[in-house]
Structure 1
Amino acid sequence: MIYRFRVILDVDTDVFRDIEVESHINLEDFHKCISTSFGFNGEEMASFYKSDEDWNQGEEYSLFDTEGDTPVMADTILESVMDEDNRHFLYVYDFYNMWTFFVDLKEIAPEVEGVSYPHILASHGFVPADAPEKNFVAEDFDEFDSEFNDFEFDQDEFDEYHGYSEDEYYS
């Protein structure tokens, strides 16, 4: 089977590629296809993340084995992690610049005889010279204050420790 994707670069202008790949390739080959279709050399660190329709980041598939529990792209077949019910990936290329892509499975179709895969169906827009700055927003952890109050203490608790005096330390 063939998977038809729209891969959208997360920048201010419209930059996307429509790509067809065979469903039985591994994620490392898919990574190479995406990175080269956008003009990158494919040699930087990268990861795929399962995602939902709201583009929330899920399970990671890393390019390199990090000796942890993270599955590796080379060992993960595309059709084993993406199907009719699981149609979205986030793809991050070059962890220094954090190029981020939205990978959306648009269609599953039979192979077309005479077509060589991977196949770029459409290419729109140009990759900017510099990656956009990412603003990561932390969750509001105030709701945990009552559960995790390890840092609540009485200032007088520390007066007894070794006769410590800030005046002596900073003089």
Structure 2
Amino acid sequence: MIYKFRAILDTKEDIFRDIAIEQTDTLEDLHNAITNAFGFDGTEMASFYMCDDNWNQEFEIPLFDTGEDSDEVRTMNEFILEDNLDKHHTKIIYVYDFFNMWTFFVELAAIEEKESDLTYPALLFSHGEIPAEAEDKMFEADGGFDEDEYDEDELDMFDGEDSFEDFGFEENWN
């Protein structure tokens, strides 16, 4: 069977690609198909995030294991599409290039029979041009520093050379 996905770039403009891929392929194969469809070189870090029906992130699936304990992290090449996505679980978020945060909403739109005249993965439809730069996104923690939220003693803690004495660090601790 073939999975047909729509990958929508998170921008003000409508920019998306429809991709067909075999159900036995991995999330890494889908990653490669998305980067090719949008014209990225594929050399940056990326992750998928499993989601609920409301696009709330559940857990991360990275391209590479960047942790110290490799037994705890499963990477994209370990996730077979048909084992993780089906008609009841259709939504995943894809982030490419963590410096620029190209973010995509990827949804399984259809499960169909394989067409003998197509080579998979296949780009089925392309709409919109990708901008030169990713749009800035405002994350919850990006609200900035507001001095009004802190009292005078809390702000004084960060002033002066000896501001970290109370934390138990020695002058040349490293």
What TM-score, normalized by structure 1, do the two folds share? 0.78
1:131-150 residue pairs with structure 2 within 5 A?
Answer: 131-138=134-141
Give, in angstroms, the shift of residue 74 of structure 1. Answer: 1.2
Given candidates 99, 104, 121, the residue that maps to 1:101 is 104
Of structures 1 and 2, the larger Rg is shown by 1
For the Cα contact (< 8 Å) 1:60–1:70, is it kept in 2? no
1:47-104 deviation line (CA, Å, top 9, x unaligned): 0001122111111110001234231011211111111111000000000000000001
Q: Is the 8 A contact 2:92 2:107 kept in 1?
A: yes
Amino acid at match of 2:130: V
Distance 2:29 2:3 in 1: 13
The residue aligned with 2:124 is 121
Residue-pair matches, total: 143
Q: Counterpart of 2:98 in structure 1: which amino acid? A: F
| Structure 1 unaligned regions, length at least 5 | 139-154, 156-165
**Aligned counterpart, 2:49:** 49
Give the 3-state SS of the residue equivalent to 2:140 in structure 1: coil
AA aligned to 1:108 is I
Match of 1:33 in 2: 33
Cross-structure match for 1:159: none
Displacement over 3 Å in runs of 4+: none
**For the residues of structure 2 that align with 1:12 and 1:130, how far apart are their CA atoms?**
13
Structure 2 length-normalised TM: 0.77
* 1:112 is the counterpart of 2:115: yes
Once the two structures are TM-superposed, the CA of residue 113 in structure 1 deviates from its matched residue by: 1.4
- What percent identity do the matched residue pairs reach? 49
Instruction: For structure 2, list consecutive stretches of 5 or more residues without a partner in the other structure.
Output: 142-152, 154-158, 164-174
**8 Å contact from structure 2 (residues 53, 89) kept in 1:** no
- Code of the residue aligned with 1:96 in structure 2: it is F
How large is the Cα RMSD of the aligned pairs?
2.0
The CA distance in 1 between the partners of 2:39 and 2:53, in whole Å, is 27
* Mapped pair 1:130 → 2:130: no
1:101 counterpart SS class: strand
Task: Write the distance in 2 (CA, Å) between the matches of 1:39 and 1:6.
Answer: 16
Which position in structure 2 is the counterpart of 1:151? none
